[in-house]
Structure 1
Amino acid sequence: MTVPEHDADVLPPAERDTAERDMAQEGTRAEQRLQLFAYLQAPEHHTYLAIMRLFTSTLLADLSADEVAAALVGAERDGRIDAGESEIGTVIDRLRRLVKWGNLVVGRRETIASSIAEFQHGSVRYQVSKLAVRVQRDVDTLLHVPEGAREVSRELLPAIERGVTEISALLSEALSAEQHDPAAKPAGQAGERLAEQVTTVFLQHAELAATVRDFYAYLGQVVTRHHLAPEEISGFRNLLVEYIQMVVEDVLRHTRTIAAALSGITSRREELLRVLGPAEDLGAEVERARGRTEADWQELTDWFVDSPGRPSQVSSLREATARAIGSLLASVRRATSDGGLMPGRRGDLLKLARWFDEAEPDRAHQLYAATFGLHSARHLQPAPDYDSDNHEVAWRDGPVLDVPVNVRSRGDRGARGRASRVLHDPMTEEALLSEARAEKRRRRAAAAELTAAAAHPTEIRLSTDALGVLCELLTKAQAQREHPDDTGWARDPVHRLQVTIRHTEGHETRIGSSSGTLTLRNTALELRGDDTPAEAGTGTTANSTVSGGSR
């Protein structure tokens, strides 16, 4: 019995004490059950595994310490357990520890012995507990499970569809038999066939659900990797695009019929459980077969049928498939595109880890310094902020600096996340367009002023805008000259304005403006341009040369 914390204070004292006692007993029972896994982490776990396999290999195993020691001799000879583990004293210690953890239970039987020690060893018998059998069975299954994907038993879907449909028909037949002969055995032969079909359906669904969970668990640990080799991408592409599509199509095709049959059974669930037999017939401590309780049928229904606020496992399967395909496509884009996000550093980090593992201590220090650049006198980043003022704490014992995911997994310091949506701002847009039009008018006027100045080489005095355009063209013309004696030129194609500079020893070119006088020593300047800009129409062309000394 579990009582919410906020409701404990409103209970009467007697009921509150009972509830607290039940909660304490429940916690103690859970701790005791967790002790069943203790032998798996013990230093002598190979010996414990051999002992537990010996007890679970036969039904109703009843063994003494001598019999266990004799069976361990072969395992010790083959090297599966350490030397000395088959000695009787060691075996007794291992068996007592298993009894303490709850994996074995102690029993006694009459025996004929020639000594007290032989009587003690032979009369004490050991049997395996029920929960320990399950633990060992799961352990052996886990140790033999391959690392790859597990095939989904999708062929069970049509069997489950036929089974739940037949359950509805058998239930109607069993209820009809009860009405005709109430004194007969509940439901008669129809009830037996109904129980058989219920057990079959739940076993089939348990296998289907287990294969789906295992397959998608494997898929999840793969598609979340940032770095995938090309051959891995090809294999996972076939796995996702072909196999998963086939699985999802089969699930969706049979789900509608299964969901409709389960919905019909839901309204008659009490009658179904009554026909299958009440739990009191077997006792409260007996673990019943699947399909004999309300919770079993609710779990089966929730797997196929959506309920308000709780999507079914079929819906979750469809969403998980979509996420997996999206993750694979992202991996393909990262592996094939030249731009965008930087590729994962997983391969590089694994190679670096292998170098460190194979290196000698001196070589490892050199490799560390060369890789991270953390030499004695170099600091690439500021030290992290410490929470305390204790400067005697070494950096390796201080707080850990939180490294962002993009730096840790991709080596990229750029900001992650989605770009903000650009809002439409008509006032700002109009202001920018007006500014651009004004700049265009100023440049057109500056180009026209330079064209007019070319017609009057002796009176060159420019405005600030015209001098800026001229300096821009002079910079481009100067960039074309590989040697000071070369001739350079630059052109503004929009306004048909060209500037040419030539080296002329002893000449100076002076251009006045409101900002000052531009002096070009040992340089002759030539301006060529139309009387009107290119976009304003056609006009006459004025050519002139501004040489040193003219003003």
Structure 2
Amino acid sequence: MSAGHEGRTIDTETSLPDRAGEAAGADHEAEPRLALYAYLTAEHRRSYLAIMRLFTATLLPDLSPNEVAAALAPLEREGAIEAGESDPEVIADRLKRLHDWGNLVKGRRETIASSIAEFVRGAFRYQVNKLAVRVQRDVDELLRVPEGAREVSRELLPAIERGLTQLGGTLSKAITAERQGGSVAKRAREELAEQVTTLFLQHAELAVTVRDFYAYLGQVVTRHNLEPDEISGFRNLLVEYIQMVVEDVLRHTPTIADSLKGLARGRSELLRLLGPNDQLGGAVERARGRSRTDWQELTDWFVDRPGRPSQVTALREATARAIGSLLASVKRATAGGGLLPGRRSELLELASWFDWAEPAEAHSIYAAAFGLYSSRHLLPAPEHDGDDEHTPWRDGPVVDVTVSVRSRGDRGARGRASRILDDPFTQETLLAEARKADQRRAAAVFELAAAAPKLEETELSSDALGVFCELLTLAMAQRERDTDQGSAADPVRGLRLTLQPTEEEPTRIKTVSGVLTLHGARVALTTEQPEVRSS
């Protein structure tokens, strides 16, 4: 398999595994792991967070409910957790729930207690699960993240470029030292492992900062009401920073791609020298850079493959879209004419009134502002829109206000109707289809007119049968009550069908699809001069 980037090719010794199969298996295996996040949305989540922070703050924790209760007592006095949450009985229940979710595992240690109840509580000691440590670490990191943009670690690009260049030379020295054996080979392997680990750590940090920055950028381009200072900041973000990031990426990518091409030839030797660490025993989670998949993912970040663009290409395309969206937002915000000024400041002032108002005053303000009063529910009450009945409205889910309501205070549709495009190709196609259908109908009418003298002896085609059934339906609908006779004609070609009642044998019309039998009716076809209407 080969991967190309601007004329370059990178040969890989084995193809990528079936990602679809891996994803399906991973989703099935991940179901128990998803329960590790349950405590983040459960009731009393502040207590669960405090407990998990206690278990993840030290190495090899082994705590009993009494020890956890003693550690959480100061938090309860400070108001960080709800009152009564530091009670040992309550803590024992919280620890049991965390154990059921998989965040904690049972520990084993002798317990010294002064009472049977204390012994029962202390007999169950808990330790933290490895995956739960990662979950809590990610949660704490997420809570510390500011709302603004995250700076892209551009300085890591030249570091990755130098690291790949040095890694090629280190690999050659390690292969040579492997033949000598002894301490020389050991030092060469350690140096090789150090460079590989550093390289993948640098790339992981770069990829994370790029993803976070462009996620923030996607948030920015959807903004409609911009303050003057925000416009200035977004202009700098647009003109300077984004362009600088893309230029750095594009400048270092060719050299990085060449280095990856050279390392691809010796990848088998590289992975062999970075073989498994026998000191860790059985199955372990190895560091990045020790498998073919890791190196393929690193290559795919910088190098395009047929049908699979690299992250560099995706970054360039996302930048072009973001620049266009940001330009449109800045132009809309700084334009002199156009729509009426936004009502953002008025809505913020109204929100501040609701914030300090008492419940009775808030109802009056609401009625005065929106003209709405107490509603009468004719249907069952809707479900609560919060996480639970204890969630205040200010902590509940945010309602997305549309642009028309936010800017103009109305819900009416705006904008002119779309212009009808002139499409000559489609027009000619439709005209050709209409002409073809008209020719087929003319041929069918001519066939019926020719078969009129001997209608029951002639076999009608499918098109002629269609016209015949059409006229027959109209004639039956126009029958007179007294004579039970009806007729219908084709006004364009003058073919008339007359339907008369009869007690003779049924009329049989032969067609390519079978025989049409009419009981108690006789059919006659005549040709007359079509009507000419003058305007």
1:64/1:123 contact within 8 Å kept: yes
In structure 1, the residue matched to 2:110 is 110
In structure 2, the residue matched to 1:323 is 321
Structure 2 CA distance for aligned equivalents of residues 28 and 150 of structure 1: 33
**Residues 83-117 of structure 1: per-residue CA shift (max 9 Å, x gap):** 22111111111111111111111122223444333
Structure 2 CA distance for aligned equivalents of residues 104 and 404 of structure 1: 42
CA offset at residue 297 of structure 1?
Answer: 0.8
In structure 1, the residue matched to 2:238 is 240
Structure 2 CA distance for aligned equivalents of residues 23 and 405 of structure 1: 37
Three-state SS of the structure 2 residue aligned to 1:140 is helix
In the alignment, structure 1 residue 337 sits paired with structure 2 residue 335: yes
Instruction: Specify which of 207, 222, 225 is matched with residue 224 of structure 1.
Output: 222
Three-state SS of the structure 1 residue aligned to 2:188 is helix
Structure 2 CA distance for aligned equivalents of residues 123 and 204 of structure 1: 45
* One-letter code aligned to 1:89: E
Are residues 408 and 254 of structure 1, via their aligned partners in 2, closer, same or farther at CA, if it must alter by over 3 Å?
A: same
CA offset at residue 188 of structure 1?
Answer: 3.0
Structure 1 CA distance for aligned equivalents of residues 326 and 341 of structure 2: 14
* One-letter code aligned to 1:285: A
Structure 1 CA distance for aligned equivalents of residues 419 and 98 of structure 2: 60
1:71-150 matches, cutoff 5 A: 71-150=71-150
CA offset at residue 276 of structure 1?
Answer: 0.5
Are residues 166 and 419 of structure 1, via their aligned partners in 2, closer, same or farther at CA, if it must alter by over 3 Å?
A: farther
Q: Which runs of 5+ in 1 are unaligned?
A: 1-21, 377-391, 398-402, 426-551
CA offset at residue 52 of structure 1?
Answer: 1.0
1:335/1:343 contact within 8 Å kept: no
In structure 1, the residue matched to 2:297 is 299
Structure 1 CA distance for aligned equivalents of residues 340 and 218 of structure 2: 22
1:226/1:346 contact within 8 Å kept: no
Are residues 34 and 301 of structure 1, via their aligned partners in 2, closer, same or farther at CA, if it must alter by over 3 Å?
A: same
Structure 1 CA distance for aligned equivalents of residues 380 and 340 of structure 2: 31
Q: Which runs of 5+ in 2 are unaligned?
A: 1-21, 383-399, 426-535
In structure 2, the residue matched to 1:260 is 258
CA offset at residue 238 of structure 1?
Answer: 0.8
CA offset at residue 224 of structure 1?
Answer: 1.5
Are residues 299 and 185 of structure 1, via their aligned partners in 2, closer, same or farther at CA, if it must alter by over 3 Å?
A: farther
Number of positions where the alignment pairs a residue of Structure 1 with one of Structure 2: 378
Are residues 308 and 420 of structure 1, via their aligned partners in 2, closer, same or farther at CA, if it must alter by over 3 Å?
A: farther
In structure 2, the residue matched to 1:200 is 198
CA offset at residue 273 of structure 1?
Answer: 0.9
2:164/2:260 contact within 8 Å kept: yes
Are residues 332 and 418 of structure 1, via their aligned partners in 2, closer, same or farther at CA, if it must alter by over 3 Å?
A: farther
Structure 2 CA distance for aligned equivalents of residues 198 and 174 of structure 1: 13
CA offset at residue 301 of structure 1?
Answer: 0.9
* One-letter code aligned to 1:105: V
In structure 2, the residue matched to 1:368 is 370
Three-state SS of the structure 1 residue aligned to 2:107 is strand
Are residues 227 and 45 of structure 1, via their aligned partners in 2, closer, same or farther at CA, if it must alter by over 3 Å?
A: same
Are residues 281 and 420 of structure 1, via their aligned partners in 2, closer, same or farther at CA, if it must alter by over 3 Å?
A: farther
**Residues 127-176 of structure 1: per-residue CA shift (max 9 Å, x gap):** 10100100110111111111111111111111111111111111111122
Quick one: higher RCO (CA 8 Å, sep 6+), 1 or 2?
2
In structure 1, the residue matched to 2:269 is 271
Structure 1 CA distance for aligned equivalents of residues 350 and 88 of structure 2: 49
Are residues 92 and 416 of structure 1, via their aligned partners in 2, closer, same or farther at CA, if it must alter by over 3 Å?
A: farther
Three-state SS of the structure 1 residue aligned to 2:125 is strand
Three-state SS of the structure 2 residue aligned to 1:290 is coil
Structure 1 CA distance for aligned equivalents of residues 380 and 50 of structure 2: 47
Q: Percent identity?
A: 63
2:341/2:407 contact within 8 Å kept: yes
2:51/2:68 contact within 8 Å kept: yes
In structure 1, the residue matched to 2:65 is 65
Are residues 253 and 416 of structure 1, via their aligned partners in 2, closer, same or farther at CA, if it must alter by over 3 Å?
A: farther
1:226/1:344 contact within 8 Å kept: no
Structure 2 CA distance for aligned equivalents of residues 174 and 64 of structure 1: 50
In structure 1, the residue matched to 2:471 is none
1:36/1:101 contact within 8 Å kept: yes
CA offset at residue 235 of structure 1?
Answer: 0.8
2:224/2:333 contact within 8 Å kept: no
Structure 1 CA distance for aligned equivalents of residues 43 and 402 of structure 2: 37
1:251/1:314 contact within 8 Å kept: yes
**Residues 326-381 of structure 1: per-residue CA shift (max 9 Å, x gap):** 112111221233455777666666566667776633442343249xxx9x9xxxxx
Structure 2 CA distance for aligned equivalents of residues 91 and 160 of structure 1: 48
Three-state SS of the structure 2 residue aligned to 1:80 is coil
In the alignment, structure 1 residue 173 sits paired with structure 2 residue 180: no
Are residues 135 and 291 of structure 1, via their aligned partners in 2, closer, same or farther at CA, if it must alter by over 3 Å?
A: same
Structure 2 CA distance for aligned equivalents of residues 312 and 348 of structure 1: 46
1:10-29 matches, cutoff 5 A: 29=29
In structure 2, the residue matched to 1:311 is 309
* One-letter code aligned to 1:303: W
Q: What TM-score does the superposition give when structure 2 sets the normalisation length?
A: 0.63
* One-letter code aligned to 1:361: H
Q: CA RMSD in A?
A: 3.6
CA offset at residue 325 of structure 1?
Answer: 1.6
Structure 2 CA distance for aligned equivalents of residues 197 and 157 of structure 1: 15
In structure 1, the residue matched to 2:501 is none
**Residues 212-248 of structure 1: per-residue CA shift (max 9 Å, x gap):** 1111111110121122122211111112211222222
Higher Rg of the two aligned structures: 1
Farther off after superposition, 205-214 or 408-417: 408-417
Structure 2 CA distance for aligned equivalents of residues 396 and 347 of structure 1: 33
1:486-501 matches, cutoff 5 A: none
CA offset at residue 294 of structure 1?
Answer: 1.2
Are residues 342 and 325 of structure 1, via their aligned partners in 2, closer, same or farther at CA, if it must alter by over 3 Å?
A: farther
* One-letter code aligned to 1:57: A
* One-letter code aligned to 1:211: T
